[in-house]
Copies of this chain bind each other. A is one copy, B any other.
Amino acid sequence: MKFNIALLAGDGIGPEVINEAVKVSDAIAKKFNHEITWTPALTGACAIDAVGVPYPDETHEVCMKADAVLFGAIGHPKYDNDPSAPVRPEQGLLLMRKKLGLFANVRPTFTFPSLIDNSPLKRERIEGTDLVFLRELTGGIYFGEKGRKDNGDTAFDNCVYTRAEVQRLAKKGFELAMTRSKKLCCVDKANVLETSRLWRETVQAMEKDYPEVTVSYEFVDAVAMRLVQWPNSYDVLITENLFGDILTDEASVISGSMGLMPSASVGEHTSLYEPIHGSYPQATGLNIANPLATILSAAMMFEDAFGLKAEADAIRAVVNKSLEQGVVTEDLAPKGSKAYKTSEVGDWLVANL
């Protein structure tokens, strides 16, 4: 098969980790007889520097024409302390999500047996955890009307959801649950919010179409607790944009493998794959960043965007092997043992595919 992949490396360590994901993807493509065309495009702080906006139209064109988008990370410290600056890298992220219609953010949290002791949680709490959040990504309070009144002394943000928005996200949740343990948890705050009551009634009405799926409804504050207490009691969770932002980040640290967690954002026009970690500016150019989350994001891309499960499994298997054999960057290397460079990890994976 032939694929055209938009390559959005972004800022900080983005280009370095993307580079390794490209290496591994090319090696897989060669092995399985596919042909990948990579089309690089600018986004984030580097796009602001180059053309003045964080998500240029040319980049959008490239993404729209691509079969999938592989994304690194964006953000630069010069924007960090001024969240009200007129132009900021994150605006590019939000604009990209909206313009590409990336409405479902897929965020798995799972454990690697060899990394389980990195978790802040006790082994018996985290063992066996394998859950997936589906976070709604183009609606809610992120995109509602916002502004000021009373000479700037009153601020407001409106949270809005339509039944159709909930349905398309929930549909993905039910479908994903059907391929897993058939348990779905709808996370909301229906005891306080009207949007949450719409979420809950919409999901309740869809239950009859998926009679095999057991649905639970839990308040966001209760989920924030149980994620730390019994993360392995969850399977598929669906939730709105802001709750998803908070809970997926909370979930990401419990596994002890934060630097390894991939994600997908699935949309109307295309889908995008990215590591969940940030642009880690302090490490830029040092060839020390962990490329595995990006490489595992490429695996998700092969499986979900192109339907190539064997290719994805081959990537995951070699990543597992590298972890077991200790071919890891400094964030994962035990004290006293050798840490590999970013590019050395990529080279090792290619050689051992």
Contacts and interface: CB of A to CB of B under 8 A. Distances in A.
Interface of A: 81, 83-84, 88, 90, 94, 120-122, 125, 141-142, 144, 146-148, 150, 152-164, 189-198, 200-201, 217, 220-222, 224-225, 227-229, 242-243, 245-247, 249-250, 252-254
A217 B81 CA distance: 9
Nearest to A90: B191
B84 A195 contact: no
A346 to B, nearest CB: 27
Contacts of A161: 154-156
A68 B144 CA distance: 40
Copy total for this chain = 2
Contact of A156 (B122, B150, B194, B221): B194
Nearest to A227: B250
A156 B224 contact: no
Nearest to A160: B156
A131 B41 CA distance: 44
A154 B253 CA distance: 34
A224 B250 contact: yes
Nearest to A278: B222
A161 B148 CA distance: 10
Contacts of A164: 153
A22 B164 CA distance: 52
B253 A194 contact: no
B84 A201 contact: yes
Nearest to A155: B198
A281 to B, nearest CB: 15
Contact of A224 (B147, B150, B190, B224): B224
A159 B162 contact: no
Contacts of A220: 245-246
A83 to B, nearest CB: 4
Contact of A194 (B90, B120, B146, B245): B146
Contact of A245 (B125, B153, B201, B221): B221
A183 to B, nearest CB: 18
A250 B121 CA distance: 14
A246 to B, nearest CB: 5
A221 B194 contact: no
A232 to B, nearest CB: 11
A142 B229 CA distance: 27
B194 A155 contact: yes
Contacts of A142: 192
B158 A162 contact: no
A162 B227 CA distance: 33
A141 B159 contact: yes
A14 to B, nearest CB: 18
A105 to B, nearest CB: 13
A296 B8 CA distance: 54
A47 to B, nearest CB: 17
